[in-house]
Chain A
Amino acid sequence: DQQVKQNSPSLSVQEGRISILNCDYTNSMFDYFLWYKKYPAEGPTFLISISSIKDKNEDGRFTVFLNKSAKHLSLHIVPSQPGDSAVYFCAASGQGTSYGKLTFGQGTILTVHP
Chain B
Amino acid sequence: DAGVIQSPRHEVTEMGQEVTLRCKPISGHDYLFWYRQTMMRGLELLIYFNNNVPIDDSGMPEDRFSAKMPNASFSTLKIQPSEPRDSAVYFCASRDGQTSTEAFFGQGTRLTVV
Interface size class of A (residues with CB under 8 A): 20 to 34
Closest to B106 in A: A43
Beta-carbon nearest neighbor of B97 in chain A: A100
Q: Contacts A100-B31, A100-B97; is A46 near B41 (CB within 8 Å)?
A: no
B25 on the A face (CB < 8 A): no
CB atoms of A41 and B45 under 8 A apart: no
Q: Is A13 an interface residue (CB 8 A)?
A: no
What is the distance, in angstroms, from A21's C-beta to the closest C-beta of chain B? Answer: 13
The answer to whether residues A43 and B48 also contact, given A34-B102, A104-B35 and a CB cut-off of 8 A, is no
Residues of A within 8 A of B50 (CB): 100
Given contacts A43-B107, A43-B108, A44-B91, contact A101 B101 (CB under 8 A): no
Measured CA separation A42–B44 after assembly (Å): 17
Q: What CA separation (Å) do A5 and B75 show in the bound complex?
A: 29
Cross-chain contact A105 with B101 (CB below 8 angstroms) = no
**How many residues of B sit at the interface, in one of the four size bands?**
20 to 34
State whether A6 and B102 are in contact (beta carbons under 8 Å apart), knowing that A41-B107, A101-B56 are contacts in the complex: no
CB distance B48 to A100 under 8 Å? yes
Chain B residues 25-80 with CB under 8 Å of chain A are 31, 33, 35, 40-45, 48, 50, 55-56
Pair A34/B56 contact, Cβ less than 8 Å:
no
Q: Is A19 an interface residue (CB 8 A)?
A: no
When A and B form their complex, which 7 residue pairs have the shortest distance between CB atoms, in order from nearest? A43-B105, A106-B42, A104-B43, A46-B102, A107-B42, A44-B105, A43-B107
